[in-house]
Each structure stands twice: as structure tokens, then as C-alpha cells.
Amino acid sequence: MKKFWRNFLIVLSLVLLSAGVSYLTVSKLSDRLIRPIEQQSINQVEQPLRLVKAEVVPAIETDFTRAANQTVHAVVHIASKTMRSVGSSGPLDIFEYFFGYRDYNQTPKPQTGYGSGVIISADGYIVTNNHVIEGADEISVTLNDRRNYQAKVIGTDPSTDIALIKIEEKGLSYITFGNSDELKVGEWVLAVGNPLNLTSTVTAGIVSAKGRNIGILRGNNQNRAQRDKSYSNLSIESFIQTDAAVNPGNSGGALVNTRGELVGINTAIISSSNAFSGYSFAVPVSIVKKVVTDIKEYGSVQRAILGVDISDITPELSKEKKIDVTEGVYVHAVGERSGALDAGVKEGDIVIAVDGEKVTRAAELQEKISRYRPGDKVRLTVLRDKKELNMNVVLRNLQGSTAIVKEAGIEVLGAAFNELSANEKRQLNISYGIRVGGLTEGKLKEAGVRKGFIILKVNDQRIESVADFEKIVRDVQKNAGFGEAALFIVGIYPSGKVAYYAIDLTQ
């Protein structure tokens, strides 16, 4: 028993001794670890406290339901039908003329294109793109509630790709004009239209850029005019670029801001696949308003010009002309009988402002001048020899005058026209054309046209009926303000003599 207790005490002593050694060891190590941490914490607390000011901006409203609901009922679907004859539409059919009438069965085949339009007044005025309705024989407009109407063309402007049409109705929903000048890059916008025949489609995006010139209107012959043996491009491209999804069928639709105001007419996309691939382009409403007002008031657009050939300042041009500024519009030439010439503008001047508003590119200058009419005065600021000069320019039309050009009507020709019967066509060895049935004082008589003359083609277009002829005359008259108001007529007399006439409708 004594041996047991002795062994027990020995084991207990060893346990206590081990516990004591362990406690001392842990205590020493803890002191060594904790002191530096405590010291570090103390040092951190003792450092001066610095607060960074954060600017907190309220989030921009991104609920587009109100703007969408305001506008979707005022955007329409447009179907434009064109009747195309199967027969040749080339130059005068010389073989037909010499070898006789060919009674081909030239049944016209309809071709239909689709687009969008924007109702801008309760009584049925609709803005769309010119390319949506150009050359159409029939224009059908379908509202968002599926009501359908036939529309008539009030006027067109190929230089801006804007057209005005009208349906006969009252009390329609419409979109009010906004201010495209106030749009900022990065601002939210909505594109409303009928892409791929999907009616009443709304997409959202931001304004990616302003004043974009992408060259899509440059190739149109109606957008060029000869001036002093050089050619000046008359197209106005100062597009609003957005990343809102736009596809074929959106052309002529609305670009609106978050308040539901019209700020542009969707016109084009840049794509290799003919479908949306990132960017779309809209005509700013600042241009649209001017075009619509002119068409309503005068029947055609009143185009005012400075009378200069211009371009952007590129690195190549800067090097060639030793230009030390990067912004502005370079003047390559000044036309005769132009307002710019009379005001003192010279070749080599750099336009930097119009009426005190800065311009950095040619597209911006064209867009600003497009808001004026012949006879209006603008203050031009130019750089010449590194000095700023201010000049007051009276804008003119392409004919070099300040007159307003109004649509005159077909009456100015001073003639009556008759359609030919099938028997008369066979006797004359032709398959189309109309006859000049009578003449009074007017453009045709002045040009030397005689009674009985058979009009076969006008401006390289076959004349199948009197309606065809009248339509071409009206279209030409609408371009009277753009230097394109001429009729080039090809025809024959009953004797077989072929004759050619040029009729100037600008005078």
C-alpha cells in the first residue's frame, strides 16, 4: 500500500511539473507575439484619420415605359408598292423603232418595300425616309391599332433622305418635336419602328456620337450640282449615332428621348450582313423640322448654300497646306455669284463658327446652314493667317439668287396630253408614249415642241401614261431648289423624225 502511494505521488509530481513548464513556455511565446500586434494597432490608431469626399449623383431614370407608351401609337408601318414592267427600260428602243411594234405581254409586276413612319400631327402628316417611298406607285400606312390607309406624297428631299406623306384622318396620336441640339453623348434614347415587319418594336441605347457623316447619300445624282465646272456634294449628313438596335424596316421610324420627344428619324445602319451590328444613324430633328416646314409652305425644300467647296481638316491636308489647327472646316474653293464670295471668303480660309456657334467638321457646318433659307444672313467666323475674321454672308440658292422657289405645277408646260391607243402605237411602230394634243404659251412651246409630238422618255424613264409624265414633272419641280429642275425629253413626230428637248423648270 505504501508503495502504491509513493508511485502515485511521483506521477502527480511529474504531471504538475510538466503543466508548469508548459504554462511558462506558452506565456513567453504569447507575450512575444501579442506585443508587436498591439504595438502595430496602437500605431495605426495614432495615425491621423483622412476622409475621402465622394460625389454621390442620383441614378438616371432608366424606366422607359412612359416614353415607349407615348410614342409607340404614333409610329406607323409603311408598305410602298412599285409596279415594274418586264420589258426593257433602257434608252430609246431603236430596233423597235426601225423594225416595228413588238406586242410583248409586259404585265407589270409589283415590288413591295417596307419601312416605318412617324405621325407628327393629329391630322395625318407623317415623316419618313425618302428611300422608303421613293418611286412608289402606291403607299399603304398601317397604324398600331391595325387601321389601314392609302397615303399621298406631299414632298421629298433626297439630300437629307426625308419625305413627308399624309393620310386622311383626324384625332391621331402624334409625337412632338424635341431639340436634337441638346442631346448629349451618353444620353439614353429609344428607337421605335417596325424592323423586319415586326410591328411596334421599341429598343433602347445611348447616343454614341453626333454630327456623323457616313457617305450614304453622296452617290445620289440628285444630291450633286454643277458649279463653275466643279461638282459640289449637296447631301446633308450630320447623323446622330446610337447603339439602339435598328434593322431593315426601322427606316423612317422615331428616335426619341426619355421624355418621348422626337429627336431624330432612324435612317441607316452600318453592317456587312444587312442586319444590326452595333451602330445605327438618325437624321436629327433640327433638319427634319426645316424640311417639313418648307414642304408644307412652299411645296419644295428651300436650300440655302454658302457657295463653297469644303472638307474636314485631316492630317494629310494639314501637312499639305501647313495648317496648325485640328478643328474647323477648310475652304477649297469659292463659287462665283455666291454669298461667300460677296462676303469676302477666300480659298484657304478655315470656318470655325456660324453665328457664334463652334463648328469642328464639315458635317456640322452643313447641318447648321441647312436650317436657313435663301436670303437669310449668317455670321461666319473664319481663320485666315492665324487671325479670326467675322463676315456677314447672305445665303443664296443654287441659281445664285435669294429668291424662294415655289412648286409651279404642270400648268407651266402649257400643253395638253393624250394617251395613245393600241392601234396608234402599231401605226407608229412604238409600244409606249403619250401625245402632245395641244399647246398654249408655256415651257414646251418655248422649247420648240410642236403639236402631235410623241413623248417616249423623260429623264431616261419610259412614259407609259399621262400619269407617268405628270409624276416625273412633279418630282423634278420638288427639286427646283437644288439645281435639278430640268426635263430631258426624247420622242418622235408622226413623220418619223426623232427629237430631243431640254426644259428648264427653274426659271
Q: pLDDT band for position 450 (50/70/90)? A: very high
CATH topology of domain 410-504: Pdz3 Domain (2.30.42)
For residue 265, list its beta bridge partners: 254, 283
The 10 Å Cβ neighbour count of residue 256 is 29
Please identify which residue in the block is written with the cell numbers 507575439.
33
The C-alpha cell that represents 203 in the structure block: 429598343
Please identify which residue in the block is written with the cell numbers 445611348.
206
Q: Which residues contact 53 (CB under 8 A, 6 or more apart)?
A: none
**DSSP notation for 438-489:** EE-SSHHHHHT--TT-EEEEETTEE--SHHHHHHHHHHHHHTGGGT--EEEE
- As annotated, the active-site residues are 131, 161, 251
Which of helix, strand or coil describes residue 61? coil
Fold match, 308-394 / 410-504: yes
Lowest mean pLDDT among 46-55, 118-127, 232-241, 370-379: 46-55
Here the contacts of 472-476 (C-beta below 8 Å, separation 24 or greater) are 473/410, 473/413, 473/505, 474/407, 474/410, 475/156, 476/505
Q: pLDDT at position 288, please? A: 97
What pLDDT, in 10s, does the model give residues 203-229? 999 999 998 888 877 655 444 443 333
Query: Is the pLDDT higher at 32 or at 475?
Result: 475
| C-alpha Rg value of the chain to the nearest Å | 37
Q: pLDDT band for position 197 (50/70/90)? A: confident
Amino acid in position 335? G
Q: pLDDT at position 3, please? A: 60
Q: Is-contact 166 124, C-beta < 8 A?
A: yes
The alpha carbon of residue 182 and the mean position of all alpha carbons in its chain are separated, in whole angstroms, by 18
Q: pLDDT at position 269, please? A: 85
pLDDT at 149 over 60: yes
pLDDT at 321 over 50: yes
Q: pLDDT at position 134, please? A: 87
Considering the chain, what percentage of its residues have pLDDT values greater than 90?
52
Q: pLDDT at position 47, please? A: 46
For residue 151, list its beta bridge partners: 139
The alpha carbon of residue 139 and the mean position of all alpha carbons in its chain are separated, in whole angstroms, by 21
Query: Is the pLDDT higher at 143 or at 234?
Result: 143
Distance CA 138, CA 461 (A): 18
pLDDT at 97 over 70: no
- Domain ranges in the chain are 73-298, 308-394, 410-504
Q: Span 73-298: which CATH code?
A: 2.40.10.120
Q: Report pTM.
A: 0.72
Q: Please provide residue 32's backbone torsions phi and psi, each rounded to the nearest 5 degrees.
A: -65, -35
Q: pLDDT band for position 54 (50/70/90)? A: very low
pLDDT at 187 over 60: yes
> Phi-psi region for residue 414, left (φ > 0), alpha (ψ -120 to 50) or beta?
left
pLDDT at 454 over 60: yes
Lowest mean pLDDT among 5-14, 110-119, 209-218, 330-339: 5-14
The alpha carbon of residue 53 and the mean position of all alpha carbons in its chain are separated, in whole angstroms, by 44
**29-57 CB burial, b ≥16 within 10 A, e <16:** eeeeeeeeeeeeeeeeeeeeeeeeeeeee
What pLDDT, in 10s, does the model give residues 277-319? 678 999 999 999 999 999 999 888 888 999 999 999 999 999 9
Q: Mean per-residue pLDDT for 447-464?
A: 92
CATH H-level superfamily of 308-394: PDZ domain (2.30.42.10)
pLDDT at 88 over 60: no
Q: pLDDT at position 119, please? A: 98
pLDDT at 100 over 60: no
What pLDDT, in 10s, does the model give residues 332-376? 999 888 999 999 999 999 999 999 999 999 999 999 999 999 999
pLDDT at 240 over 90: yes
**Kind of pairing, strands 461-462 and 201-212?**
unpaired
Q: pLDDT at position 273, please? A: 67
